[in-house]
Amino acid sequence: MNTYAKRTIWRKENNPNIIQVIDQRRLPHELIIVDIHTCQEIVDAIKDMTVRGAPLIGATAGYGVMLACIEASKNQNSFVYFEKCINELRASRPTAINLFWAIERQLDALKEGKNWQEKIEIASKIADQIIEDDIEVCRLIGVAGLPILEKISQNKKGEVVNILTHCNAGRLGCIEWGTISSPIYQAHQNGMKVHVWVDETRPRNQGANLTAWELTQAGVPHTVIVDNAGGHLMQHGMVDVVFVGTDRTTRMGDVANKIGTYLKALAAFDNQIPFYVALPSTTIDWTIKNGLTEIPIEERSQDEVKYIYGWNGTSLEKVLLTPITSKASNYGFDVTPARLITGLMTERGICAANEEGLLSLFPEYK
């Protein structure tokens, strides 16, 4: 992977107040780096999914707060302006808790700043820290998850371990390692034979476009499948384990993730296939208990369902799939109840998907 693509977000060389990101709407066909100059541009990048994936949304929002401080310091109504920026950041996407976590982490720290100059310095440091923390946390998720794959590999006497995944919970959804990809990369680097079934993940095709691109870059064998194929593969012994990410996990272990995750969990349960969720603890919403009723589920434009983007040989093209007058609905996420989840892979190890399990790893939230 070239150096630009190594991380998903970074500061521009020679101008640290310009944030650079990979435009994820253009992958896998074009690797385009976008410059972000203002808090409004951060909001737009999160909304239009130039950047996406819970940890990366949080990290991007961290820089959004930094840019809001810089802009507020030059504004006559600085506090009003700053509050407006924060509200817009908060409204950019509803489901991934990392967005709100990063903003609160920044606002807490900013209380120490006596003037805008101090606030800018604090926000700048915290934004960088969020990035560094995510990289280490994802590496540790890999350390926690690797033994799951090692055990399957041993049981299969070194034969290929088949992992099924949904959406993109790899490095593109995070900063460097990714969550579910971290144990997979570590296994692959250790010489284990792994193969990933990649759900295409309609409507935005994060699997076909992003996960497949990442795995190609990393040299990990993989096969893209239509979203409805997973159950069939599981019934025929072609899946050893399911790994997915999450946008918000309740303290009882219910998991919101990309729409369609729940159906994969049901199929895995019916076929006695282990179903693991990888998450940094920043994705746990300790304030809520019932995933089904308390997690806000994003509804996006019906055009994402009605139209599809593809490469026509020279450029990206948007084409219509449905009758022009048909209505479409577009729920972005669903909730997988804790009872269908074999375990949660976190930076502090693996636990049962329930309150007791989570608190055993994170006793500070008792």
Given 58, 64, 94, 173, the residue binding ligand MRU (CB under 6 A): 173
What φ, ψ does residue 9 adopt, rounded to 5°? -150, 140
Q: Is 142 in the site for ligand MRU (CB under 6 A)?
A: no
Task: Note whether 188 and 218 are within 8 A (CB).
Answer: yes
CA–CA dist 241, 192 (Å, integer): 15
**Stretch binding ligand MRU (CB under 6 A), from 52-60, 211-219, 234-242, 316-324:** 52-60
CB 250 within 8 Å of CB 288? yes
Q: Which two tokens stand for residue 186?
A: 């570590």
Binding mask of the shown chain, residues 213 to 252, with x at each position contacting ligand MRU by CB under 6 A: --------------------------------xxx-----
Burial of 1 (0-12, 13-18, 19+ CB in 10 A): exposed
- C-alpha span between 360 and 196 (Å, rounded): 31
Q: Binding residue for ligand MRU (CB under 6 A) from 39, 54, 61, 140?
A: 54
Helix (DSSP H) and strand (DSSP E) numbers for the chain: 14, 16
Q: Are 9 and 63 in contact (CB under 8 A)?
A: yes
Q: Judged by CB under 6 A, which of 19, 22, 39, 53 binds ligand MRU? A: 53
Task: Identify the residue among 25, 52, 222, 251 touching ligand MRU (CB under 6 A).
Answer: 52
Name which of 175, 177, 162, 344 is nearest 245 in CA terms.
Answer: 344
* Minimum distance, C-beta of residue 295 to ligand MRU, in the bound complex (Å): 12
Binding to ligand MRU (CB under 6 A): which residues in 261-320? none
- The pair of three-digit structure tokens given for residue 215, joined into one six-digit string: 């795995």
| In contact, 295 and 94? CB cutoff 8 Å | no
* Stretch of 50-58, 152-160, 211-219, 318-326 contacting ligand MRU, by CB under 6 A: 50-58
* Interface residue with ligand MRU, options 22, 36, 42, 55 (CB under 6 A): 55
Q: Is 35 a catalytic residue?
A: no
H or E stretch including 58? Answer: helix 54-73
By beta-carbon proximity to ligand MRU, the closer residue of 122 and 175 is: 175
Which residues 2-41 are close enough to bind ligand MRU by CB under 6 A?
none
Residue 257 contacts ligand MRU per CB under 6 A: yes
258 binds ligand MRU (CB under 6 A): yes
- As a whole number of angstroms, the longest Cα–Cα distance in the chain is 68
Question: Considering CB under 6 A, how many residues would be counted as binding ligand MRU?
Answer: 17
Give me the 314-353 binding string for ligand MRU, x by CB under 6 A, dash otherwise: ------------------x---------------------
Q: How far apart are CA 28 and CA 45, in angstroms?
A: 18
Which of 247, 254, 285, 334 is the catalytic position? 247
The Cα 38–Cα 42 span in angstroms is 6
Q: Are strands 241-244 and 275-278 parallel, antiparallel or unpaired?
A: parallel
CB of 144 to ligand MRU, least distance (A): 15
Q: Looking at 11-19, 171-179, 302-310, 311-319, which segment touches ligand MRU (CB under 6 A)?
A: 171-179
Minimum CB distance to ligand MRU, residue 302 (Å): 16
Interaction pattern, residues 187-206, with ligand MRU; x per rule: CB under 6 A: -------------------x
By C-beta, is 17 or 302 nearer to ligand MRU?
302
Torsion-angle region of 14 (φ positive above 0: left; ψ -120 to 50: alpha; else: beta): left
194 vs 187: CA distance, rounded Å: 7
Closest alpha carbon to 103 in 149, 61, 45: 61
Q: State which residue, 54 or 194, has the beta carbon closest to ligand MRU.
A: 54
Write out the catalytic residue numbers: 247
- The residues that touch ligand MRU, with contacts defined as CB under 6 A, are 52-55, 96, 167, 169, 173-174, 179, 206, 245-247, 257-258, 332
